[in-house]
Amino acid sequence: MQSDVAMAEKTPRPRPAWRSSGSFFVILMFIGAALLFIYSLWFVNTHSPVEERFNQRRRPLEADTPGYLILRERAGDYLRTALNVDTLDAAEGRRHGVAEYNVEGKTVRLEVEYIPDQTPTLDMVFAGFLERADGTDTGSVLKRFPEARTPYYFAVFSGFTYTYYEFGWINGNWILRASSREAGQEALLRFVNGYVY
């Protein structure tokens, strides 16, 4: 009698069917999570070109907007480090001003110009690009988007020892240009997209 009890304790019990299907389900969940993680890494690291990610939703820039609002102290997460008001606060005529911002320890230059007597075009915004880049007509790339909600362009000049990036756009009768030799194109894009006008 005792030997029968001992035999019954040593005999393994059959596994319930729900336990094996539960393990299969957990394995499928782990595989799904791994695939989702791999896809998210691919998605985050595969960007569309920088010029296609320019934020076209901008606040309107009126003729009487004060200079301190246009060349604001902060643009997104970036702080202004230098300011040249020039004629920005003039009561009439063309107005112009420049500010520099610190972007990840590197400088981005923002230039604004008000043109009261005519509607700006992208050609007007782009004018003087090579002088701003300190370059010649070789090694430059320009991509224009004149039909966009906010007409803009993205231009690159590749020099021997530096690369110059510039976004230029139109907001009402205002011409705006953001450029840098030091910050890369992604940092420049973040600055431009953080700037409200």
pLDDT score recorded for residue 76: 81
What confidence tens digit (pLDDT) does each residue in 36-86 have? Answer: 777 666 655 556 888 899 998 999 999 889 998 999 999 888 999 999 998
- Residue 98 token pair: 């420049």
Burial of 174 (0-12, 13-18, 19+ CB in 10 A): buried
pLDDT at residue 10 above 80? Answer: no
Which pTM does this prediction carry? 0.74
Q: Name the more confident of 92 and 192.
A: 192
Domain ranges of the chain: 2-45, 53-194
Q: Name the more confident of 114 and 7.
A: 114
Q: Alpha-carbon dihedral of residues 166, 183, 100, 54, nearest 10 degrees?
A: 50
pLDDT score recorded for residue 13: 64
What confidence tens digit (pLDDT) does each residue in 129-182 have? Answer: 999 998 776 567 889 999 999 999 999 998 888 899 999 999 999 999 999 998
pLDDT at residue 19 above 60? Answer: no
Rounded to an integer, the average pLDDT of 95-107 is 91
pLDDT score recorded for residue 141: 85
- What DSSP assignment string belongs to 130-192? HHHHT--SSSEEEEEETTSSS-EEEEEEE-SS-EEEEEEEEETTEEEEEEESSS-HHHHHHHH
pLDDT at residue 7 above 70? Answer: no
pLDDT at residue 89 above 80? Answer: yes
| The listed CATH number (3.40.50, 3.40.1000, 1.10.3470, 3.10.20) that belongs to domain 53-194 | 3.40.1000
